[in-house]
Amino acid sequence: MAYLYPTSRSRIRTFGGCILLVAAFLLVKSFLFDTNEVVIPGYSRLDLSKYPDQGIWQAEEFPADGPPRIEHILHQTWKTTDVPAHYVGWMRTWADNHPTWRYMFWTDASARQLIQDKYSHLLPTYDGYLENIRRADAMRYVILYEYGGVYADLDMESLLPLDSIARKYSCILPQEPYEHPIIDSNFEHLVINAVLACRARHPFMKKVMESLPEYFHMWNLLDSTGPHFLTLQYRQYKRDVEANQRNADGVYLAPAEYFFPTLDPVKFPYMKSRCNSLFNTMSHLQQSACVSLKRKGLKRKPYPFSFTNHHWMHTYFTNKFSIAGPSELKSFIPTAEIYSGT
């Protein structure tokens, strides 16, 4: 078979076309992924007084002493006590910042045992979930209702001790960064369950726990056990229960800057693209979120007063670190307790 080779001129055109394609690709890649810049059409002509700054820039006052309103117990969970090495450093920050707190670790087996022992009416719902992440969501509500304390996902890093805020509030719900739910779905104040703090037997956590069977059928896990479910429970509780957030039965919705000061990198391309291409057709709320992205940038750092930072590993959606040299729990947190039944 004869092969037709291009002439010198056509080779030059082909090479030049390749260069243009590569340049275009790099430009798009830079726009979508690499830069901290958010492009908003006509930004220089906007009346920015209509888009006030969002978020907080300093912490509120917390009691320097006094009894805790939330038990000094830390809870974390994984499938077994062989934890992917990638999480070990972040897990240690919790023990290091809370040396006098009790540390309880929950495996799939021990969490199920707790539900069987104390809340057997929830077992059909718990066992019926098709995805492990739904069980992981559900178990944290049961654990906090039974024991109280602080629950944290393994990709949560402790930056400051929680003693001060645990003296002020009896139940603390963090929320996702301001821009996340607004640009996604045009609403604000999305409660996230990657870290939660609540005293034992709090009526809000009881409501959450007992509502799980009612939402079992929801197709999307966000609606059945995750942040959307928890946000709905919070809104209903706030509407139905006349309790100030400082009272024994109150619930405090914490600023994102306390627990989730950084944005999810997975969302960078999506948020940048929407702000660039849809800004003029967005609601005022969504435009405000885009302006916030423009002002603060995408790649953020925790504040000096941030209690935690989330590393957005999407643990239950990937096996990326599931075989990365597992470490046995007791080798790095020797005081860890494992529930073994009543």
Res 119 pLDDT > 50: yes
Q: Which is higher by pLDDT, 25 or 246?
A: 246
In this structure, is residue 33 part of a structural domain? Answer: no
pLDDT digits (tens, 9 = 90+) for 205-218: 999 999 999 999 99
CA 229 to centroid of chain Cα atoms: 14
Pairing of strands 327-328, 82-83: antiparallel
Query: Domain range holding 73?
Result: 63-265+303-338
pLDDT confidence of residue 342: 73
Would you call 128 exposed, middle or buried from its count of C-beta atoms within 10 A (0-12, 13-18, 19+)? exposed
Instruction: Tell me if 96 sits within 8 A of 340, measured CB to CB.
Output: no
Res 83 pLDDT > 50: yes
First-residue to last-residue Cα distance in the chain:
80
pLDDT confidence of residue 24: 43
Please report, rounded to a whole number, the percentage of residues in the chain having pLDDT higher than 90: 82
In this structure, is residue 279 part of a structural domain? Answer: no
Res 105 pLDDT > 70: yes
**279: its two tokens:** 């800004």
Res 307 pLDDT > 70: yes
Is the whole-model pTM more than 0.75? yes
Number of domains in the chain: 1
In this structure, is residue 294 part of a structural domain? Answer: no
pLDDT confidence of residue 25: 42
In this structure, is residue 189 part of a structural domain? Answer: yes
In this structure, is residue 20 part of a structural domain? Answer: no
In this structure, is residue 293 part of a structural domain? Answer: no
In CATH, what number is assigned to the domain containing residue 134?
3.90.550
In this structure, is residue 34 part of a structural domain? Answer: no
How many alpha carbons lie under 13 Å from residue 83 in its C-beta half-sphere?
A: 25
The rounded distance, in Å, linking the Cα atoms of 170 and 159 is 21
pLDDT confidence of residue 149: 98
Res 315 pLDDT > 80: no
The rounded distance, in Å, linking the Cα atoms of 234 and 242 is 13
The rounded distance, in Å, linking the Cα atoms of 123 and 113 is 10
In this structure, is residue 315 part of a structural domain? Answer: yes
Please report, rounded to a whole number, the percentage of residues in the chain having pLDDT higher than 70: 87
Task: Find all residues with CB under 8 Å of 57, minimum gap 6, and list them.
Answer: 303
Q: Which is higher by pLDDT, 22 or 59?
A: 59
